[in-house]
């Protein structure tokens, strides 16, 4: 109930901000200044609620791991047929487990890469079906489909319903809290934004990350970028070594056991541990 009230208050704020433009008429300087103030303040609060990765108003989220001597590496937007296998090789060599927030339709294109990541002990999580950059403006039907089709893709490939979710660019939606609850998903945010999407020099990327990371951080990286993930892949071995030297351990952003518990049916691709049955959620039409 409180959750729905939060969404309703957000929608009212959005409507009131736009309705404030009516105060401009009949036009006077004082009305213009008053409207400008109300509109600017309304837009600023709306954007904060929609865009801030750790804001809890529209969806409860976790941006740290529990143990203070651990950090979690998370990789969004994959799989990439080129860079994700390279990353998996590197992680295997360094004996590091990470969390992959995969885009459902890309996972369907390269299921063997997602399966490999799961089989090698990483966690696979839902990063929506098609990674819509206007995620916060999706219709309710489309929002639900983005979440459920992303989940269904992982279930098809790995045999379990994921328990962790992250939206494109961390964007919020007024109905996100409700739909994630219905889908049994926890929103995982991040505490370290690396800007690996922008930084073109591996030393700069490495310095930026190492300067900021402390125990408990969840680090946001990408294993698929339009220009390739070479810079991140070049920086990562040194980052892993340095963080280990500081006494930090690498953990998953969520539990693989939780993922297993959410599995409905035994499938040939399931990992060694046994899955338990749980409630199956309906898959809505596209
Ligand atoms: Zn993304």
CATH code assigned at 140: 3.20.20.370
Domain that holds residue 33: 2-51
| Ligand 1 midpoint to CA 271 (Å) | 26
Mean local confidence (pLDDT), 95-122: 98
Question: Do 118 and 185 have their domain in common?
Answer: yes
| Ligand 1 midpoint to CA 224 (Å) | 9
| Ligand 1 midpoint to CA 93 (Å) | 26
The full DSSP string for 109-177 is HSHHHHHHHHHTT-EEEE--SS--TTGGG--HHHHHHHHHHHHHHHHHHHSS---EE--GGG---TTHH
Residue 271 in any domain: the answer is no
Active-site pick, 3, 76, 122, 127:
76
Confidence band for 2, pLDDT divided at 50, 70 and 90: confident
Confidence band for 53, pLDDT divided at 50, 70 and 90: confident
Confidence (pLDDT) at 7? 87
% the chain with pLDDT above 90: 80
Q: Structurally, how many domains does the chain consist of?
A: 2
| Ligand 1 midpoint to CA 16 (Å) | 31
Question: Do 191 and 93 have their domain in common?
Answer: yes
Report CA Rg, the chain.
21
Question: Do 171 and 246 have their domain in common?
Answer: yes
Residue 40 in any domain: the answer is yes
In terms of pLDDT, which residue wins out, 2 or 225?
225
Residue 204 in any domain: the answer is yes
Q: Is 273 a catalytic residue?
A: no
Residue 142 in any domain: the answer is yes
pLDDT at 273 exceeding the cut of 50: no
Average pLDDT over all residues of the chain = 89
- Report pTM: 0.86
pLDDT at 280 exceeding the cut of 70: no
Active-site pick, 122, 127, 131, 222:
222
Residue 266 in any domain: the answer is no
Residue 273 in any domain: the answer is no
Q: Which of 25, 51, 77 is the last residue of a domain?
A: 51
């Amino acid at each position: 109930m409180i959750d729905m009230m939060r969404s309703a208050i957000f929608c009212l704020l959005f409507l009131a901000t736009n309705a404030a433009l009516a105060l401009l008429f009949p036009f006077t300087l004082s009305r213009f200044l008053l409207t400008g103030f109300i509109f600017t303040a309304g837009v600023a609060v709306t954007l904060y609620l929609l865009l801030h990765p750790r804001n809890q108003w529209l969806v409860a989220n976790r941006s740290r791991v529990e143990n203070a001597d651990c950090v979690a590496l998370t990789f969004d937007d994959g799989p990439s047929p080129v860079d994700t296998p390279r990353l998996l090789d590197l992680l295997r060599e360094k004996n590091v487990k990470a969390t992959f927030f995969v885009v459902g339709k890309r996972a369907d294109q390269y299921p063997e890469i997602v399966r490999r990541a799961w089989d090698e002990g990483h966690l696979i999580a839902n990063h929506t079906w098609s990674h819509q950059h206007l995620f916060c403006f999706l219709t309710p039907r489309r929002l639900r489909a983005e979440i459920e089709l992303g989940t269904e893709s992982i279930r098809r490939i790995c045999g379990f319903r994921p328990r962790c979710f992250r939206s494109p660019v961390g964007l919020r939606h007024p109905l996100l809290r409700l739909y994630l609850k219905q889908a049994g998903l926890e929103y995982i945010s991040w505490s370290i934004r690396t800007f690996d999407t922008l930084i073109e020099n591996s030393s700069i990327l490495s310095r930026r990350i190492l300067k900021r990371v402390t125990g408990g951080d969840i680090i946001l990286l990408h294993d698929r970028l339009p220009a390739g993930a070479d810079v991140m892949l070049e920086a990562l071995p040194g980052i892993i070594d340095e963080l280990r030297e500081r006494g930090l351990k690498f953990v998953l952003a969520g539990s693989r056991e939780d993922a297993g518990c959410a599995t409905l049916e035994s499938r040939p691709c399931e990992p060694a541990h046994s899955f338990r049955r749980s409630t199956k959620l309906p898959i809505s039409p596209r």
